[in-house]
Amino acid sequence: MPDQPMDRVNALQPHAAIQLADVVKTRPQFSPVTPRWITKFLEFRPVETGIYRINRVLENTPLGELCGKDSPMENEIPQGYIEYEEKPREVTLKGLSTILNVDTRVQDLYSHPYNQTEEQIALAIESLKERQESRLINDPEYGLLPSAAPKMRINTISGPPTPDDLDELLSLVWKEPSFFLAHPRAIAAFGRECTKCGVPPVTKEIHGGTFILWRGVPILPTDKLFVDGEENQNPRGSGKTSIMLVRTGENKRGAIGLYQAGVPNDMARGMSLRFRGINDHGVASYLLTVYCAAAILADDAVAVLENVDVGSY
């Protein structure tokens, strides 16, 4: 037999053999999905009627007089009462919805090894949860960022987020602060400033994640605290964002998340899945809805560091 050319081997070639091979397939990889740490650290409260009323005490209540402070008579019993707000704020849950369509022929023919309908629903749920996290932070009616009190907002000292800036936030939310919230670029900028000052922050594993701590308070990353108000921005460009410090918990008079309890076909916290039927073209339709809101029970539960420069190197 004559010698075969070096580029021609007398054997079955890979491009043909692969037609008989099983290909290992992954589930759909959805890159926009984030860890959504705020939904893991923020305390949530179920609501049965879609409305959460925040009853506050008036700040000018004379507690010193009620408790007998500087009483002229040692045996005199002070009199008074605690005044409530007459028109308390009510937070109404909002619904975030999406309609998912699945071709039943695709479901019938191409559901091995992964069920097409289940994968589509799982991806839709992840997408809706991403929108929910953004609303908890940014919604103009109930979001933690726009709802922070004016007296709880400060500017950076020089632009980049420094240890002194975060200490100023801690001086505002000093009653059992729970976590900082910052864009990953803001966390990186804070790390650079700590390195300049020679005080690198420590890290700790909490809830399955590793976080930078400052004064023992974890700094949670989220891309929902936008840079220059944009969701997707140049990763090395200049820009301004905000850093938040939050105390969470109803018993601590902190910030809490709200969700509707007992929704039909509950898929997750406050999220329902409803089958809408199959049309004449064989397309099955599903309605996904999540009901959510947030509430700040006391003004000193949330502080915001504004005009944080993330592009200084």
Of 28-37, 82-91, 209-218, 230-239, the poorest mean pLDDT is in: 230-239
Structural domain count of the chain: 2
Of the ranges 1-15, 220-234, 263-277, the best mean pLDDT one: 263-277
Of 46-60, 185-199, 287-301, the poorest mean pLDDT is in: 46-60
Position 237 scores a pLDDT of 76
Is residue 206 scored above 50 in pLDDT? yes
* Same-domain status, 160 and 211: yes
Confidence at 223, pLDDT banded by 50, 70, 90: very high
**Cβ atoms within 10 Å, residue 66:** 13
What proportion of the chain, given as a percentage, has pLDDT over 70? Answer: 91
Q: Has residue 277 been placed in a domain?
A: no
* Same-domain status, 293 and 222: yes
Is residue 301 scored above 80 in pLDDT? yes
* Same-domain status, 114 and 83: no
* Same-domain status, 117 and 239: yes
- Give pLDDT tens digits for 34-49: 999 999 999 999 998 9
Global pTM value: 0.88
- Give pLDDT tens digits for 52-111: 999 998 876 666 666 655 555 666 777 777 888 999 999 999 999 999 999 999 999 999
Higher pLDDT, residue 234 or 25: 25
Of 37-41, 202-206, 249-253, 261-265, the poorest mean pLDDT is in: 261-265
Q: Has residue 282 been placed in a domain?
A: no
The residue-averaged pLDDT of 263-283 equals 94
* Same-domain status, 222 and 80: no
* Same-domain status, 78 and 109: no
* Same-domain status, 150 and 86: no
Position 1 scores a pLDDT of 47
* Mean pLDDT score across all residues of the chain: 91
- Give pLDDT tens digits for 108-166: 999 999 999 999 999 999 999 999 999 999 999 999 999 999 999 999 999 999 999 99
* Same-domain status, 120 and 221: yes
Is residue 4 scored above 60 in pLDDT? no
Is residue 6 scored above 60 in pLDDT? no
Question: Which residues span the domain enclosing 81?
Answer: 58-90
Is residue 23 scored above 60 in pLDDT? yes
* Same-domain status, 67 and 199: no
The residue-averaged pLDDT of 224-241 equals 82
* Same-domain status, 118 and 253: yes
Position 61 scores a pLDDT of 61
* Same-domain status, 78 and 134: no
Is residue 304 scored above 50 in pLDDT? yes
Position 313 scores a pLDDT of 81
